[in-house]
């Protein structure tokens, strides 16, 4: 079966292809009666996207980039949730998603150079990325999901306040009586890591607790296996930490494992705090106190912002901040008596 083209529709309706195109796009006035004729002839007709894109210079598709190392074999749950939000918002507005999961940015710039997308949503961008300036310089709209500082004067992004959130939970731990508080974070190449670390420092300084450098474990490549080791480092110290702020819930899980291996009770002997409040947090044993963040909403909001840009033709350099919620559960308590 040969596919129906705009010519077939035009013939069937007894009009020219221009008229068909006009009723399809609603671009200019068409007499009501002919409009109806054309619409009737449009059954089983679907415009070929590439033809339309070639001419109209827009693709109605958004490139979604997720920074991810293939060797991790596991995608951060917050990315997935953001992706879900992006997906729903895109669908609402008739946009499609081209997904690029990778560490390097050539895939992304290809999408741009080959005109495959109208805009981008970027997740997990490294501070050292130079993709952003390419996009800026070429007026390609994009929105960042998640933390980023960068050299640019300001980019369009939707984010949480990582620093504030970690500052809060650290203060919570301090309020519980903890002094020797450890933290495990990933590469400071990522703003979310450096911000969370900064939040920890801020809280500790605010409480006049001098930070022992062996309490802060920064890891370029924070897998669960690594996290477990780092947690053990923390626990083998003498005196050991009585609480650990984990970069995220996966890390917290690893900390749980380490604690178990070291024969430390949670929360009796060590308190643990996670981040992201992934689905497991509530089911862990003991249930994990964690910072919930609105990942889905981040994605959704980013998409809406991007679509607005696309409509208006200009990109706001604004940053939207969404709120986190600390989910208090049972993984934290006062430190053991000395």
Beta strand extents in 75-127 (DSSP E only):
96-102, 119-123
Give the Cα separation of 174 and 147 in Å (integer).
26
Output 40 or 99, the one with its CB closest to a second copy.
Answer: 99
Output 27 or 238, the one with its CB closest to DNA.
Answer: 27
Please tell me whether residue 24 binds DNA under the rule CB under 7 A: yes
Shortest distance, CB of residue 55 to DNA, whole angstroms? 3
Output 69 or 115, the one with its CB closest to DNA.
Answer: 115
- Single out the residue of 12, 34, 201, 232 in contact with DNA (rule: CB under 7 A): 34
From a second copy, DNA, none, which one binds at residue 17 (CB under 5 to 8 Å depending on kind)? DNA
Output 17 or 211, the one with its CB closest to DNA.
Answer: 17
Give the Cα separation of 115 and 112 in Å (integer).
5
Contacting positions for a second copy (CB under 8 A): 1, 46-51, 53-54, 59, 61, 64, 68, 70, 73-75, 80-81, 83-84, 87-88, 91, 96-102, 107, 110-111, 113-116, 138, 224, 250, 253-254, 256-257, 279-280, 283-285, 296
Please tell me whether residue 150 binds DNA under the rule CB under 7 A: no
Binding piece for DNA, criterion CB under 7 A, among 28-36, 168-176, 248-256, 276-284: 28-36
- For the CA atoms of 204, 199, 224, 174, what is the dihedral angle to 10 degrees? 30
Residue 54-73 contact track with DNA, rule CB under 7 A, x = bound: xxx-----------------
- Nearest alpha carbon to residue 192 among 136, 141, 241, 251: 251
- Nearest alpha carbon to residue 100 among 133, 61, 157, 135: 61
Shortest distance, CB of residue 52 to a second copy, whole angstroms? 8
- Nearest alpha carbon to residue 247 among 180, 187, 327: 187
Question: b vs e for 304-318, b when ≥16 Cβ sit within 10 Å of the residue's Cβ?
Answer: bbbbbbbeeeebeee
CA atoms within 13 A on the CB side of 133: 9
Shortest distance, CB of residue 222 to a second copy, whole angstroms? 14
> Which secondary-structure segment (H or E) carries 291?
strand 289-292
Please tell me whether residue 40 binds DNA under the rule CB under 7 A: no
Shortest distance, CB of residue 141 to a second copy, whole angstroms? 17
Please tell me whether residue 43 binds DNA under the rule CB under 7 A: no
Output 106 or 212, the one with its CB closest to a second copy.
Answer: 106
Contact 15, 6 (CB under 8 A): no
Q: For strand 61-67 and strand 96-102, is the pairing parallel, antiparallel, or unpaired?
A: parallel
Contact 140, 154 (CB under 8 A): no
Contact 96, 60 (CB under 8 A): yes
End-to-end alpha carbon distance in the chain:
82
Shortest distance, CB of residue 18 to DNA, whole angstroms? 3
Please tell me whether residue 31 binds DNA under the rule CB under 7 A: yes
Shortest distance, CB of residue 97 to a second copy, whole angstroms? 5
Shortest distance, CB of residue 104 to DNA, whole angstroms? 24
> Which secondary-structure segment (H or E) carries 320?
strand 319-322
Output 114 or 153, the one with its CB closest to a second copy.
Answer: 114
* Residues in contact with DNA by the rule CB under 7 A: 3, 5-7, 14-22, 24-25, 27-31, 33-35, 45-48, 51-52, 54-56
């Amino acid at each position: 079966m040969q596919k129906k083209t705009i010519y077939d529709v035009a013939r069937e309706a007894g009009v020219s292809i221009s008229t068909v195109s006009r009723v399809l796009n609603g671009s200019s006035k068409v007499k009501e009666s002919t409009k109806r004729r054309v619409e009737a002839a449009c059954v089983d007709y679907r415009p070929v996207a590439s033809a339309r894109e070639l001419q109209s210079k827009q693709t109605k598709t958004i490139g979604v980039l997720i920074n991810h190392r293939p060797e991790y074999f596991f995608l951060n749950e917050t990315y997935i949730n953001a992706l879900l939000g992006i997906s729903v918002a895109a669908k609402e507005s008739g946009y499609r998603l081209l997904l690029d999961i990778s560490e390097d940015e050539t895939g992304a710039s290809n999408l741009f150079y080959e005109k495959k997308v109208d805009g981008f949503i970027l997740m997990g961008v490294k501070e050292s990325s130079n993709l952003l300036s390419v996009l800026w310089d070429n007026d390609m709209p994009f929105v960042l999901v998640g933390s980023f500082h960068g050299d640019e004067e300001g980019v369009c992004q939707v984010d949480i306040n990582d620093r504030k959130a970690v500052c809060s939970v650290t203060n919570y731990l301090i309020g519980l009586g903890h002094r020797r508080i450890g933290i495990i974070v990933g590469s400071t190449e990522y703003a979310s890591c450096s911000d969370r670390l900064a939040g920890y420092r801020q809280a500790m300084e605010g409480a006049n607790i001098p930070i022992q450098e062996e309490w802060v474990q920064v890891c370029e490549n924070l897998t669960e296996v690594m996290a477990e080791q780092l947690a053990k480092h923390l626990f083998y110290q003498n005196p050991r930490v009585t609480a650990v702020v984990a970069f995220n819930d996966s890390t917290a899980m690893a900390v749980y494992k380490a604690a178990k291996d070291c024969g430390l009770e949670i929360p009796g002997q060590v308190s643990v705090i996670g981040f992201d409040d992934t689905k497991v947090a509530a089911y862990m044993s003991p249930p994990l106190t964690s910072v919930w963040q609105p990942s889905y909403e981040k994605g959704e909001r980013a998409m809406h912002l991007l679509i607005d840009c696309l409509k208006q033709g200009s990109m706001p350099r604004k940053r939207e901040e969404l709120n986190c919620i600390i989910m208090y559960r049972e993984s934290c308590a006062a430190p053991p008596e000395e």
